[in-house]
Amino acid sequence: MLPNRTLLTLLRTSLLLMPLLFTNVLWAQNQLFIPEVISGEDIDLEIQEGTHEFFQGYTTATMGVNGDVLGPTILLEKGQQVTMNVHNQLPEATTVHWHGLHVSSENDGGPHTPIEPDETWSPSFTVLDRASTYWYHPHLHQKTEKHVTMGISGLIIVSDEEESQLDLPRTYGMDDLPLIIQTKEFKSDKQIVTFAHADSVVMVNATVDPYVEVPAQVIRLRLLNGSSMRSFNLGLTDDQSFYQVASDGGLLSSPVELDRLLLAPAERAEILINLSDLQGQTIHLKSYASELPDGIFGAKYPGINQDSTLNRYDPNPLNGNDFNIMQLNITLTSDNAVTEIPSALVNVTPWNEADADTSRTFRLNSRVLPDQLNHPFYINDEDFAMDKINEVIPLDNLEIWSITNETAIAHPFHVHMIQFYILDRNGVIPPEQERGRKDVVFVHPMETVRFITKFETYTNPDIPYMYHCHMLIHEDEGMMGQFLVVDKATGIEGQDSHIPQHVYLEQNYPNPFNPGTIIGFELPEPTPVQLEIFDVLGRRVALLVDEFIPAGKHEVSWDASRVSGGTYFYRLTAGDFIQTKQMMMLK
């Protein structure tokens, strides 16, 4: 028996309606949470534990800043002075790092500046950065993933004169939306799982299944991939186009029309969407993860060696499948709406490759053979250590860094202190949207990315900056290295001494590839002398002199080619004269 015509029509109609019902009504249940803003010269941040209702009827333990989860959006103006008063109410130490901001290493909030429970850390600095979207998050070694995944993250919006002269949407929460996109794994009792690969719950601003009402005009989305591990292949319903206007550290020279945007962990992008003709309609921000090539955490196979039997990345329903991230319900046009995409933005002037002072190479590798897919990962085959300085960089050095990914999975490589310009990917100039300022670059398997950057403004011979993979499990496991930026003139640091003229030190500075060092001293009379070299842990690495030495000037050379770069101390004992000085070993 065949169904009659009416039934068939009904059946067709309901089949057509089903997806609409699911995406428009059932799917998006929760109004997007918009973090409050905080601004001024004194910013108080309370790091605390809390609870949050990600799922109706379930209380989930969280960590947040000035609240239960995430943190306020910090508004800063280029050129202003700011003091951040970060009070740690957690029962354990943490740090807060200003990701992307150009600050001194003591103010950077990296793993060397822990804030103990109930302590307050108050870095104070001038905002030197260009208008863009930055963020802050904890960075205690081996605890970064935990603290971020539990909920500590917030955006920093920097404005400047150039940006404010452009006709861009900038009404926060109305046509200018802060969006922290994350995925998390939850246990069956809806508690957050840390160090997870089964991150199957998608959220924006800690809102699961979010919808937001937006006006029918040009809107600006400030996107942060705040996930610990996952990359998103962002796009809109029906491949509607959008325009990227900013990368990590600043506006692009002009808007770049796109229908997909690959956003790796810690990357930011500002996009404009023209909704002028869409009043009353509903669209979705999605991840078209089915289109991701293998070799990305988010694709069907996180590694390019998909038949690996040793794959430590658990299967995940989000891998290789398209999914919704947020629903946009388009309402009335607001007053003073921006209705057009601007044609030009700002001057972007990368440094010239020919002017570079130094090149450095970094290889991303795994020791888990044979497939190079599984963590722990390393950089240049070296174990990360808090007391090991991997690179020493003279102030104002213009450098080309070349990052080669020898593993089977893509890694987002991040450098503190600086913004860089990508020169090429496997020798090819990057697409337009990657020609602006960046502090994270996604390096695909078997790819070499070169970028150019300059280490300006700040030196500190003791506290290093970090470079690392921003997949937080990789980072916590040691896919990280450290660099010092040192003053060219005082690259050799001396402590005050009571007889300073007796000891001087020369190094073949600033050539960073020659560690040959000459230590000189002058004796007023014949004296028994000991000259020793210590590393930062106080271990003696060399005994250069241990004998009775005649009066006069003496020079002792130390071949440091077998020790790693970083800080060392030499101690001269001449009779009852003892002096210890610090020195930098450049490699």
Which helix or strand (DSSP H or E) is residue 301 part of? none
Residue span binding ligand C2O (CB under 6 A) among the ranges 12-20, 69-77, 337-345, 466-474: 466-474
Our finding on whether 157 is near ligand C2O (CB under 6 A) is no
Out of 86, 373, 471, 492, which residue is the one contacting Cu ion (CB under 5 A)?
471
Considering only residues 6 through 25, tell me which ones interact with Cu ion, judged by CB under 5 A. Answer: none
Judged by DSSP in three states, 388 sits in coil
Which residue number, 219 or 440, has a Cβ lying nearer to ligand C2O? Answer: 440
Distance between start and end Cα atoms, the chain: 84
Which DSSP state fits 355?
G
Structure tokens at 563: 């020790």
> How many CA atoms lie less than 13 Å away from 362 in the CB half-sphere?
27
Which residue number, 411 or 450, has a Cβ lying nearer to Cu ion? Answer: 411
Judged by DSSP in three states, 307 sits in coil
Out of 97, 112, 197, 284, which residue is the one contacting ligand C2O (CB under 6 A)?
97
CA distances from 298 to 131, 200, 230 (A): 30, 11, 6
Q: Give least dist CB 243 to ligand C2O, A.
A: 26
Which helix or strand (DSSP H or E) is residue 311 part of? none
Q: Give least dist CB 12 to ligand C2O, A.
A: 51
Out of 32, 466, 485, 486, which residue is the one contacting ligand C2O (CB under 6 A)?
466
Question: How many Cβ atoms are within 10 Å of 385's Cβ, its own excluded?
Answer: 15
Q: Give least dist CB 195 to ligand C2O, A.
A: 18
Which residue number, 70 or 560, has a Cβ lying nearer to Cu ion? Answer: 70
DSSP result, 505-528: EEE--S-TT---EEEEEEESS-EE
Which helix or strand (DSSP H or E) is residue 465 part of? strand 465-469
Q: Give least dist CB 465 to ligand C2O, A.
A: 9
**CA 227-231-233 angle, 5° bins:** 130
Out of 266, 269, 289, 418, which residue is the one contacting ligand C2O (CB under 6 A)?
266
Considering only residues 94 through 113, tell me which ones interact with Cu ion, judged by CB under 5 A. Answer: 99
438 binds, among Cu ion, ligand C2O, none (CB under 5 to 8 A by kind): none
296 binds, among ligand C2O, Cu ion, none (CB under 5 to 8 A by kind): none
> How many CA atoms lie less than 13 Å away from 560 in the CB half-sphere?
28
The phi and psi torsions of 470 (rounded to 5 degrees) equal -95, 10
Which residue number, 286 or 454, has a Cβ lying nearer to Cu ion? Answer: 454
Out of 147, 454, 474, 581, which residue is the one contacting Cu ion (CB under 5 A)?
474
Say if strands 232-236 and 282-287 run parallel, antiparallel, or are unpaired.
Answer: antiparallel
Residue span binding Cu ion (CB under 5 A) among the ranges 171-179, 245-253, 325-333, 461-469: 461-469
- Contact between 216 and 43 (Cβ < 8 Å): no
- Contact between 531 and 544 (Cβ < 8 Å): yes
Out of 52, 435, 468, 474, which residue is the one contacting ligand C2O (CB under 6 A)?
468
Report how far Cα 378 is from the mean position of its chain's Cα atoms: 17
Structure tokens at 358: 């130094």
Q: Give least dist CB 384 to Cu ion, A.
A: 13
Which helix or strand (DSSP H or E) is residue 448 part of? strand 448-454
Our finding on whether 411 is near Cu ion (CB under 5 A) is yes
Binding mask 134-153 for ligand C2O (x = CB under 6 A): ---x-x--------------
Which residue number, 441 or 531, has a Cβ lying nearer to ligand C2O? Answer: 441
Q: Give least dist CB 207 to ligand C2O, A.
A: 22
- Contact between 28 and 209 (Cβ < 8 Å): yes
Sheet holding 448-454, edge to edge: 377-379, 358-366, 398-405, 448-454, 421-425
CA distances from 12 to 1, 16, 25, 188 (A): 18, 6, 20, 37
Residue nearest to ligand C2O (CB): 99
Residue span binding ligand C2O (CB under 6 A) among the ranges 72-80, 183-191, 463-471, 532-540: 463-471
- Contact between 556 and 526 (Cβ < 8 Å): no
Residue span binding ligand C2O (CB under 6 A) among the ranges 66-74, 315-323, 364-372, 464-472: 464-472
474 binds, among ligand C2O, Cu ion, none (CB under 5 to 8 A by kind): Cu ion
581 binds, among ligand C2O, Cu ion, none (CB under 5 to 8 A by kind): none
**Residue count, binding to ligand C2O (CB under 6 A):** 10
Considering only residues 35 through 54, tell me which ones interact with ligand C2O, judged by CB under 6 A. Answer: none
Interacting residues toward Cu ion by CB under 5 A: 99, 411, 416, 469, 471, 474
Interacting residues toward ligand C2O by CB under 6 A: 97, 99, 137, 139, 266, 414, 416, 466, 468, 470
